[in-house]
C-alpha cells in the first residue's frame, strides 16, 4: 500500500488528465478568439480525498471546488495543517442557511447564492470570521423557469438578488454562475449558456466589477467557453469518476 499523497501512478494520472483539460480549454479559446489566461480552472474535488487536493496544488491548480460544507471545511482545515498556501476555495453546492456561517469561515468564492435569505446569513458569517467573500448569483437556466427553490434564481429575480449582495457589507458581487439544465442536447446547452451570457452582460451594465461567469463542467466546457465563461468547474475530467455518494 502506498502512502496517500505519494502514489506516483495517481499523480501521473491527474497530471495527464490536467494536460488534456488544458488542451481542451486552449482549443475552445482559440475557436472563440479568447485568451486561455482569462479562464480560471476550478478543480471540483468533492468526494475525492485531500491527497488529491495536494496533488492538484503541486501541479499548479490552486482553485478548488467543493459542494458540501462538512467535506469542504475538513479539506480547508487539512490544507492549513499541511501548510498549503495560496489555495482559493470555491463553494459550488446548494447553501443551507444553517451552514452559511461555516462556509463563510473558509470559502473565498460562494458560487451558489440563489435566494435573498442567504445573503444576510453569509454576510453575518463573513463579518464574524473577519473575512470578505466573493458571492455569485446562481441563475436557473431551465426554461420555462421552475420555481422549486433548487438550481438557482429565476432570471427575473437576478437583479434583486444582485442588489442585495452588492449592498452586503462583507460580500463582493462577483458575477453569475449556472449549471446547464440536465438532459439537453448540445444546441440546447448552447442556448442555455447564451441566456447566461446575456444575464451576465445585463448585470455588468450596473455592476462593472461583476465579471465572473462560472459555467462549464467536464461535459460542456467548450460550449461555456464559447459563451463567455470565465470560471470552469471541472471534476470528472480531472479526477476520474466519482465514487457513488454514500
The residue ranges that bind ligand PLP (CB under 6 A) are 44, 46, 67, 92-93, 179, 217-219, 233-237
Least distance CB 216 / ligand PLP (angstroms): 8
Least distance CB 65 / ligand PLP (angstroms): 7
Least distance CB 29 / ligand PLP (angstroms): 18
Task: Tell me the sheet residues that pair with 187.
Answer: none
Least distance CB 30 / ligand PLP (angstroms): 21
Least distance CB 33 / ligand PLP (angstroms): 25
> 12: part of which helix (H) or strand (E)?
helix 8-32
Residue with cell 500500500: 1
Work out the angle between the directed axes of helices 186-206 and 158-167 (0-180°, nearest 10).
50
46/235 Cα distance (integer angstroms): 8
Nearer to ligand PLP, 206 or 236 (CB): 236
Decide: 203 and 163 in contact? Cβ < 8 Å: no
Least distance CB 110 / ligand PLP (angstroms): 12
DSSP string over 78-123 = HHHHTT--S-EEEE-SPPPGGGHHHHHHH-SEEEEE-SHHHHHHHH
Q: What does residue 40 show for φ and ψ, rounded to 5 degrees?
A: -100, 125
Nearer to ligand PLP, 75 or 233 (CB): 233
Nearer to ligand PLP, 102 or 218 (CB): 218
149/207 Cα distance (integer angstroms): 25
- Determine the residue with CB nearest ligand PLP: 235
Nearer to ligand PLP, 170 or 230 (CB): 230
Cβ contacts of 244 within 8 Å, gap of 6 or more: none
Nearer to ligand PLP, 66 or 170 (CB): 66
Nearer to ligand PLP, 40 or 218 (CB): 218
Amino acid at each position: 500500500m502506498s502512502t496517500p499523497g505519494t502514489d506516483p501512478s495517481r499523480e501521473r494520472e491527474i497530471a495527464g488528465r490536467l494536460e488534456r483539460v488544458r488542451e481542451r480549454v486552449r482549443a475552445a479559446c482559440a475557436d472563440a478568439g479568447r485568451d486561455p489566461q482569462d479562464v480560471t480552472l476550478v478543480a471540483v474535488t468533492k468526494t475525492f480525498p485531500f491527497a488529491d487536493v495536494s496533488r492538484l496544488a503541486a501541479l499548479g491548480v490552486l482553485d478548488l471546488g467543493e459542494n458540501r460544507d462538512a467535506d469542504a471545511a475538513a479539506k480547508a482545515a487539512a490544507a492549513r495543517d499541511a501548510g498549503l498556501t495560496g489555495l482559493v476555495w470555491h463553494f459550488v453546492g446548494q447553501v443551507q442557511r444553517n451552514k452559511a456561517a461555516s462556509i463563510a469561515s473558509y470559502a473565498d468564492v460562494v458560487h451558489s447564492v440563489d435566494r435573498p435569505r442567504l445573503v444576510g446569513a453569509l454576510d453575518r458569517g463573513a463579518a464574524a470570521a473577519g473575512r470578505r467573500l466573493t458571492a455569485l448569483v446562481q441563475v436557473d437556466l431551465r426554461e420555462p423557469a421552475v420555481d422549486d427553490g433548487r438550481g438557482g434564481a429565476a432570471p427575473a429575480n437576478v437583479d434583486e438578488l444582485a442588489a442585495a449582495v452588492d449592498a452586503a457589507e462583507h460580500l463582493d458581487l462577483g458575477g453569475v454562475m449556472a449549471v446547464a439544465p440536465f438532459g439537453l442536447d448540445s444546441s440546447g446547452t448552447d442556448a442555455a449558456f447564451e441566456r447566461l451570457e446575456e444575464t451576465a452582460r445585463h448585470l455588468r451594465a450596473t455592476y462593472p466589477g461583476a465579471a465572473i461567469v462560472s459555467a462549464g463542467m467536464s461535459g460542456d466546457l467548450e460550449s461555456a467557453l464559447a459563451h463567455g465563461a470565465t470560471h470552469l468547474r471541472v471534476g470528472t475530467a480531472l479526477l476520474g469518476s466519482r465514487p457513488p455518494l454514500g
